[in-house]
Structure 1
Amino acid sequence: MLSTVRLAVANTLSAVRCSQALAPTVARSYSNSAPFGSLADEEVLQKLTTGELQHHNLERDLGNALRAVKLRRKHVASMLESNQKMSRELDHEGFDYEQVIGVNCENVIGYMPIPVGVAGPLVLDGRQYMVPMATTEGCLVASTNRGCRAIALSGGAHSAVLRDGMTRAPVVRMPDVIGAAALKDWVEADMSGERKLASLFESTSRFAKLKGIKVNVAGRNVFLRFEGATGDAMGMNMISKGVTKALDFLQDTFPKMDVVSISGNFCTDKKPSAVNWIDGRGKSVVCETIIQEDIVNKVLKTTSASLVDVNNVKNLVGSMVAGSIGEQVPCAISLSFFLKT
């Protein structure tokens, strides 16, 4: 039987998207421009029905975000009988919609409250962290908290960021394969062109820094995988703005180039892919902790041998049977491998 369990995880992590809600983006304020703000509620609802007012402009036209949400709810509820239950049961009071409109959500009719638990302390790189977790999954916080306790009793975990770069890969089309190859050569071999693209890319944000462009050609189609540093933000919108600026320059340089899509699925966003597995996307992190046998027994309520067996059968053999991309699981699930039993 193993006396200790050595657990190491190396995976590409996409930064947590919920952090976008906290990004330093300035919310729109419509308090100074409200062409329909003096109308009575019934008049507003009538104009929504006739199309004189549009749902997506209601905050601007009324100059009051909360009133816009309330009237939008009423109008949506009147459209279909099935919408009335949604309108009755969905919370909408007590929320600062001024911080949402134009930043995080459109056509807002309310919000879903999610309980937030806390796990910890998590001892990582010599520091203690309390980890807030917004979830409706029972036992998730409790099992994570138990894993944090096992790590703390073992002296903590250690981590290192191996790579940090968010990607966006537009697809463009050239008139022929010769043109596609010429574009690839220009992007990869012309240093002055690369510097120009970097300058344009970085002009759209004080945080964005272009780290490189990987080019793949499929017939006349050219996939340009831009990778950039985005500071503390997940940075998908930041990268997309920089890529758009670079594409404008490429179209001037290659007038016959057509932009097919700002994302050609070579990024790859929101989907498993070999390119993410191999080249990384977001933060590539390795973490390690050594948990002694007695802590495995007392805190995790299992044995070292059982954990190793589950890892082999589930994460390796099971992933192979399922045809998973890679024979390891995502880092969050790998963590739960020893945080939960």
Structure 2
Amino acid sequence: MTDAEDLAERVRDGDLRIHELEEHADYDTAAHARRLLVERETGTELEAIGDYAFPAEQADPNIENMIGAAQVPMGVVGPVPVNGGATDDEHYLPLATTEGALLASVNRGLGVIRTAGGADARVTKNGMTRAPVFRVAGVAEAAETVEWVEDNFEALREAAESTTSHGELLDIEPYVVGDSVFLRFAYDTKDAMGMNMATIATGEACELVERETPASLVALSGNLCSDKKPAAINAVEGRGRSVTADVLVPGELVEDRLHTTADAIAEANTRKNLIGSAKAGSLGFNAHAANVVGAAFLATGQDEAQVVEAANTITTMDARERDDGTTDLYASVSLASLEVGTVGGGTKLPTQAEALEVLGLRGGGDPPGSNADALAEIIAVGALAGELSLLAALASRHLASAHEDLGR
């Protein structure tokens, strides 16, 4: 009997728990044992799941009870032409997805953007947030707590930043609801996405708040952050990086390459992305920005649950008439809460690290934060390309035929 078989039997017999296997064997043997256990319990074959290409120990910070790896097809689009604040270059953008036609659509939009001279992109705001909630006796104690926080920002900053060599506390915004006090801390986390950094730093600051005010901490996250769920505060105030990309596409290029007109695309955007989204009560006013963001997140090791916040995107399309009577198309996307990093988390895994290498953005930037800013700008231009292509397909009534031609 192999070590893996022995471990699997011991779990089945109740001698070991499934999360304890790394204490009795190397990481790959432990993963093998779990696969054997699951195979025998469920009658399945886990050959593909077990065929991963990196040492299981390397994934220890990222997963518990590992049995293997999920293999999502990865493609590449581009080059993505970005005239940005953090990057002024062309980059191939790796995208991992199971949705056929997505990369073909994005690539079509990128071809138009490239011919138009590239897209401008800028990170307009940066701040990873964490918002603890405190209990107070009533509004008088709430006001006392808020006043102390506002008067002692420097002391709170010193406490928070004592936990990190990179993060900087930017702001603390208080909110009072009855006998609950929320403090929305915002940090510059440089090239890290920074959720863990913000959580640890905020925990240290909360100890100071409890010592100096009547407030008692109830939860380190009070959902006003707001992490991994649809929230208007992220759409309005931003979270992570707020980034905008835009391009002016000549009218003749719209007709030649997208087989429609600037007026038709602008109308489709207004009626679909603006009016339709408003009627639906949507927080995102776009066609499918999360499609590109999600595929980029999977490829580059971002936290895939935060795609929900990246869907806080507003797409605008405007027909602009030139002096000669030609109508050009102005197109933009504004992503209010794009949470990305090039260090930490899943960016360290081999596949995702290689994808960041393709972008030229693996690891920390010089100056700190510049790599994550560049990644945000590139993803924004990719999302812009996806919006441009899909809206053109809708305006020209080619959406269904495009999927049929690609066999999807």
Residue 12 of structure 2 corresponds to residue 49 of structure 1: yes
In structure 1, C-alpha distance between the alignment counterparts of 2:284 and 2:6, rounded to whole Å: 58
Any idea what SS the aligned residue of 2:24 has? helix
TM-score under structure 1 length normalisation: 0.80
In structure 2, C-alpha distance between the alignment counterparts of 1:327 and 1:116, rounded to whole Å: 27
In structure 2, C-alpha distance between the alignment counterparts of 1:120 and 1:40, rounded to whole Å: 47
In structure 2, C-alpha distance between the alignment counterparts of 1:127 and 1:280, rounded to whole Å: 26
Residue 55 of structure 2 corresponds to residue 96 of structure 1: yes
Any idea what SS the aligned residue of 1:98 has? helix
CA contact (8 A) 1:91 1:112 kept: no
1:139 aligned to which of 101, 124, 131: 101
In structure 2, C-alpha distance between the alignment counterparts of 1:143 and 1:277, rounded to whole Å: 26
Q: 1:74 to 1:261 in 2, by over 3 A?
A: same
Partner of 1:276: 234
Mapping of residues 18-57 of structure 1, within 5 Å: 40-57=3-20
Partner of 2:27: 65
In structure 2, C-alpha distance between the alignment counterparts of 1:69 and 1:300, rounded to whole Å: 49
Q: How many residues align?
A: 295
State the identity as a percent. Answer: 37
2:128 aligned to which of 150, 166, 172: 166
Give 1:58's aligned amino acid.
L
1:320 aligned to which of 273, 278, 281: 278
Stretches of structure 2 lacking an aligned partner (at least 5 in a row): 287-311, 314-334, 336-379, 394-408
In structure 2, C-alpha distance between the alignment counterparts of 1:138 and 1:299, rounded to whole Å: 21
Pairwise CA distance, 1:318:
0.3
Q: 1:294 to 1:195 in 2, by over 3 A?
A: same
Residue 203 of structure 2 corresponds to residue 240 of structure 1: no
Q: 1:306 to 1:86 in 2, by over 3 A?
A: farther
In structure 2, C-alpha distance between the alignment counterparts of 1:46 and 1:180, rounded to whole Å: 57
CA contact (8 A) 1:187 1:194 kept: yes
1:294 aligned to which of 234, 248, 252: 252
Q: 1:218 to 1:309 in 2, by over 3 A?
A: same
Q: Which digits, 9 at most, give the CA deviation of each residue in 1:181-239, with x for residues without a partner?
A: 21111112x1xx21121112112222211000011011111111110001112111111
Mapping of residues 179-328 of structure 1, within 5 Å: 179-188=141-150, 190=151, 193-254=152-213, 257-325=215-283, 327=285
TM-score under structure 2 length normalisation: 0.67
Give 2:387's aligned amino acid.
F
Q: Which moved more, 1:304-313 or 1:269-278?
A: 269-278
Partner of 2:91: 129
> Which structure exhibits the higher relative contact order, with contacts defined as CA atoms closer than 8 Å and separated by 6 or more residues?
1
Structure (1 or 2) with the larger CA radius of gyration: 1
Q: 1:149 to 1:42 in 2, by over 3 A?
A: closer
Any idea what SS the aligned residue of 1:299 has? helix
Pairwise CA distance, 1:121:
1.2
CA contact (8 A) 2:108 2:385 kept: no
In structure 2, C-alpha distance between the alignment counterparts of 1:326 and 1:46, rounded to whole Å: 50
Q: 1:148 to 1:42 in 2, by over 3 A?
A: closer
In structure 2, C-alpha distance between the alignment counterparts of 1:41 and 1:278, rounded to whole Å: 52
In structure 1, C-alpha distance between the alignment counterparts of 2:17 and 2:51, rounded to whole Å: 20
Pairwise CA distance, 1:298:
2.0
1:119 aligned to which of 50, 58, 77: 77
CA contact (8 A) 2:113 2:385 kept: no
Stretches of structure 1 lacking an aligned partner (at least 5 in a row): 1-38
Pairwise CA distance, 1:261:
1.7
In structure 2, C-alpha distance between the alignment counterparts of 1:220 and 1:45, rounded to whole Å: 51
1:339 aligned to which of 389, 394, 400: 389
Pairwise CA distance, 1:286:
2.1
RMSD of the alignment, in Å? Answer: 2.2
In structure 2, C-alpha distance between the alignment counterparts of 1:288 and 1:253, rounded to whole Å: 47
Any idea what SS the aligned residue of 1:216 has? strand
Give 2:116's aligned amino acid.
S
Any idea what SS the aligned residue of 2:137 has? coil
In structure 2, C-alpha distance between the alignment counterparts of 1:182 and 1:53, rounded to whole Å: 52
